[in-house]
Structure 1
Amino acid sequence: PYAFGVLNHRNLQATAAYWNPILQYVTARSGVPLELHIGRTANETTDRVAAGRLDFAYTNHLFTPKRDQLGWRVLARQNSSGIRGQVVVLSHSPVKTLQDLAGKPVAFANPYGFTGYYVPMDALLRAGVRVVPVFAGNQEAAMGQLVAEEVAAAGVNHQVMTDFAKKRGLKYRVLSESEPYYDLAVMASPRVSEADGDKVRKAFVGMEHDPEGLRVLQTAAQSLGLSKARGFAPADDRDYANYRNFLKHTLVPLNE
């Protein structure tokens, strides 16, 4: 089977519980066998892409200038109103502005994270604020450090933060929020044929319009405690132009 890597925002068990049923459905519908591969951290999954060990991936880490050269192509995207990078603090925190974070520890998912590192860190640097980055491994782990008050703030993907806070009844404040970017993309490596890529795209995009596919998405959503199923929309490389533009001009040194 083709190795399908998923960028893990959550722990391995939660990521597998969400994705295994989806990949089983896509395999059955498309006739293209897919097998879930997850690194221990999101950057480990991305390193596997760069090393040529994955065939498909659900990711937004491949739009840096260097990784763009790998020739991966966008097939579909999570069908959402987009994701934003935020800098957040607990509601009772004394921190009121980005400037209040100068010299303080701030949690981020990992050094490759787009909305979970580059975007919020860029906002801090543009505000002239230098912080001490603490990399937690994934998005929810960074939020866990914020809850435990081990850090003064966290740089987060607003969607994952919203889900996390809802599940835990957590109150927080947003100090900074970016423009919206399309959600993560289902991407294919250049060694996947156009024909196989098209079959996989059709199966993902058709899920929410097929009773069985919708049921799989609803079960997956319930496994994360989400109230609403999240399907997939058709997408191509042009939809991710603002990622490339941001990564060309960011003040944050790129880790690639």
Structure 2
Amino acid sequence: MVGTMLWFRLLALILLACFITASFKKSLGQERVFTIGVVPQFTPVEIYERWGPLVKELENRTGLKFELKTYKSIPEFEKAFLKGELDFVFMNPYHQVMAYKAQKYIPLVRDKTPLTGILVVRRDSPVKEVKDLNGKVIAFPAPNAFAASLYMRALLTEQFKIKFIPEYVKTHDNVYRQVILGKAQAGGGVNNTFLRQPEEVKRELRVLYETPPSAPHPFSVHPRVPKEVRDKVKKAILYMANERNMKALLDRVQMPNPVPADYARDYKPLEKLNLEKYVVLE
């Protein structure tokens, strides 16, 4: 009888130990697949090509599992992070403001090079200055693409005092091609996406205007993700920055030189731009 009770106690201790171990692993995210969403500046296929290698590298370095999520349009992407559906997100600077207000997303890392919005025209365009675009069609990726559209439209309206016809064409790639094809007299983009265009695209365009610089796109995390997991991912990306063979991989995701990000320092100042009246939620 005593032997039977000891056996049951031993079995109970073993089961308890297994439960505690499983719970600990789960708390560290070792049994969970974390989602990573990327702002659709490019097509879903190109986003997979650019981000797939980084996601794989993060899995190898952290022991965590990730699922890369892509979206066909920026409004679709916005709905996802505003609802808190994504664990990690690469988003534009004003998206970070929106995400912080809605879900308290925390910026982990960003590139050290400032982001600049650009207004491009065809290289042979008669347009010489911004005021020449009064009444013209201007292509933008989406209403809330920060430097390419949101901030740009505010500056065109309030600083340059021009009226224009906005055309929203979903991606930065589409913006540049709309201008080349003559379907829009100008287009809003950013320095990062323009520099990554094929040479045959860049040589057909010229930059007419650049916005004041801001902190670039952050790679952010939802606060529900355990701190241990956040720290693992952040450290992994920052360690990559010190490895020469990782430079090309990081450059593909627009973070060639990642540094720690801070909401109060990097993104809270954008709240003072009063861009709310230019935000469009679909």
TM-score for the superposition, normalised by structure 1? 0.87
Corresponding residue for residue 68 of structure 2:
36
Consecutive unaligned residues of structure 2, counting only runs of 5 or more, are 1-32
1:128-172 deviations in whole A, cap 9, x for unaligned? 111111011011111110111100000111221232264534243
**Could you tell me which residue of structure 2 aligns to residue 179 of structure 1?**
212
Q: Conserved in 2, the CA contact under 8 Å of 1:3 and 1:55?
A: yes
Give the match for residue 135 of structure 2. 103
User: How far apart, in 1, do the equivalents of 2:98 and 2:54 lie?
Assistant: 30
1-side partners of 2:248 and 2:66: how far apart? 20
- Match for residue 235 of structure 1? 261
CA contact (8 A) 1:17 1:220 kept: no
- How many Å separate the matches in 2 of 1:146 and 1:128? 22
Larger RCO, structures 1/2 (Cα 8 Å, 6+ apart): 1
Q: CA deviation at 1:78?
A: 2.5
For 1:147, the equivalent position in structure 2 comes to: 180
- Report the number of matched residues: 246
Q: Give the C-alpha shift of residue 92 in structure 1.
A: 1.0
1:173-194 superposed Cα distances (whole Å, 9 cap, x missing partner): 3332111112210100121112
Instruction: Provide the aligned C-alpha RMSD in A.
Output: 2.3
Of 143, 151, 162, the residue aligned with 1:119 is: 151
Residue 135, structure 1, aligned to residue 164, structure 2: no
Conservation of the 8 A alpha-carbon contact between 2:41 and 2:173: yes
Question: Does residue 254 in structure 1 map to residue 279 in structure 2?
Answer: yes
Where structure 1 has 5 or more consecutive residues not aligned to the other structure, the ranges are none
Deviation per CA, 1:57-114: give whole Å up to 9, x if none: 01124344575232100100134x2111122211211112222112211000111200
- Once the two structures are TM-superposed, the CA of residue 43 in structure 1 deviates from its matched residue by 2.6
Contact 1:22 1:216 in 2 (8 A): no
Rg larger in structure: 2
AA matched with 1:128: K
Distance 1:21 1:73 in 2: 23
Distance in 1 between residues matched to 2:126 and 2:277, nearest whole Å:
26
Once residues 19 and 160 of structure 1 are traced to their aligned partners in structure 2, the CA distance between those partners, rounded to angstroms, is 15
| Residue identity in the other structure for 1:119 | Y
Once residues 216 and 198 of structure 2 are traced to their aligned partners in structure 1, the CA distance between those partners, rounded to angstroms, is 19
> Equivalent pairs: percent with the same residue?
23
Query: Contact 2:82 / 2:99 at 8 angstroms: preserved in 1?
Result: no
Query: Which is helix-richer, 1 or 2?
Result: 2
Q: Which has the higher mean CA deviation after the structures are superposed, 60-69 or 8-17?
A: 60-69
**Per-residue deviation, 1:241:** 2.9
Give the whole-Å Cα distance in 1 for the aligned partners of 2:90 and 2:170.
Answer: 17
Give runs of aligned pairs for residues 3-14 of structure 1, distance below 5 A.
3-14=35-46
Instruction: Calculate the TM-score normalised by the size of structure 2.
Output: 0.79
Distance (whole Å) between structure 1 residues aligned to residue 103 and residue 115 of structure 2: 24
